[in-house]
Every structure is written in C-alpha cells, then in structure tokens.
Amino acid sequence: MAFTGELWQAIAPIYAAILRHPFVRGLTDGTLPRESFQFYAVQDALYLRDFARALSLAAARAPEDEWIIMFNEHAAGALRVERALHEGFFKEFGLGPDAVAATPLAPTNLAYTSYLLAVAYGAPYHEAMAAVLPCYWIYWEVGKALERAGSPDPLYARWIGTYASEEFGGIVRAVITATDLTAARVGPAERQGMRRHFVTTSRYEWMFWDMGYRREAWPV
C-alpha cells in the first residue's frame, strides 16, 4: 500500500464524521441554514490567504523543481479562489471586500491557520507537505460524495461542483503523488511525523465544518 493509502486509513473515522456532519449533510438535503454557509464562506476566504502562505513556504523548501512550481501555482490558485468568492458568493450575500477583510478569524480558523503556518515555517519539508494535504484531499473526496448525492439548492450545488471537478481532482492527485515520493525518501520516524500532522489537520477540517455550522464566535 502506498504511504498516502496508510494516511487515508488513519483518518477514516474522521472522514466518516465529516460526511455525517449536519453542515455537510445540509449541503445535499438543502437544510443547511444560509447564515451558516455565509459564515463558512467568509471564514474560508480568510483561511485561503494563510493557506496560500503555507504553500509558498512549502514551495521554498521543496527539493524538486516540479514541486516548487506546483506549490507556488497552488498558492496563487488559492488566492484566485479567494477573489472568485468575492465575485460570486459574496456578491450574492451583499458583502464587499472590505466587510470580508474586517471579519475576525473565528477561534477554530485562527487555530488551524496558526498550526499550518507553524509547521510550514518550522518543520521539515516532508512534514509541511503532509500538513497541507488534507485540505486538498478531504475537499475532493467530500465534493465527489456530495455530487453523487446532489443538492436541491443551486448555490450549494455550485459550491459542490467546484470540488468535485476533474480539474480539482488533477491538482489533488499531483499532491498525493508528490507526498508518496517524499515519504519514500525518508525513514520511519519521519513518516510518523508526516502521519501525525496529516491526522491533526484532518481533525481541523472537521472542526472547520463544525465552526461554520455553529457560526463560532469568541466566548469572551
């Protein structure tokens, strides 16, 4: 089994919990409150800026030219997605760029992005790669699962289509392949570090959906 296959096995319970979450289920049965989706979308736009920074840091230390190019292109792509949110969903919500930029990071969002950036800044390249992988892979798998189920809500169906697309799938497969090649170059202890970060950020992915559903606020 490829190393990434082992990683996916390690998060099987987390992924199952994501699919069961009322936010994710609500995208396909139409029961997700629009307020929760709007909250999530704004937080996601804020998240993508720091995710792009983490990808750029990974690119700076990547050992192969192809991976330098890949992660830099993905960082630029994350920022383009963030801008597309302003032209698409946010325009429908009546939100301008200033309103989105002025929104504080929710506690879970701040924790997740801080973790990603700490790993990208301070940990070895192979660990940084493993830490960013769940954001790619889980969204692709969720997108495909939700597309099979469909959605009666055109807005949610449009969002689902973005992550279920073959274009996004090609991006994810490239990162999975690079992760397996990277894992083959390091020892068991290093692979254990990769596994630890992969599981941790997968947990943060569940927490991000939950944050959106609850419209999480700072308690004090």
pLDDT at 57: 97
What percent of the chain has a predicted confidence (pLDDT) above 90?
83
Give the per-residue pLDDT at 17.
98
CA 155 – CA 189 distance, rounded (Å)? 45
Can you tell me the mean pLDDT for 29-37?
95
* Mean pLDDT for all residues in the chain: 94
pLDDT of residue 52: 96
Residue 86: pLDDT band (50, 70, 90) is: low
What pLDDT, on the 0 to 100 scale, is given for residue 44?
A: 93
Average pLDDT over residues 35-62: 95
pLDDT level of residue 85 (50, 70, 90 thresholds)? confident
pLDDT, tens digit, 9 for 90 and up, residues 162-176: 888 898 999 999 999
Domains of the chain plus CATH, in order, are: 3-214 (1.20.910.10)
Q: Catalytic residue numbers? A: 135, 205
Mean pLDDT within 48-69: 96
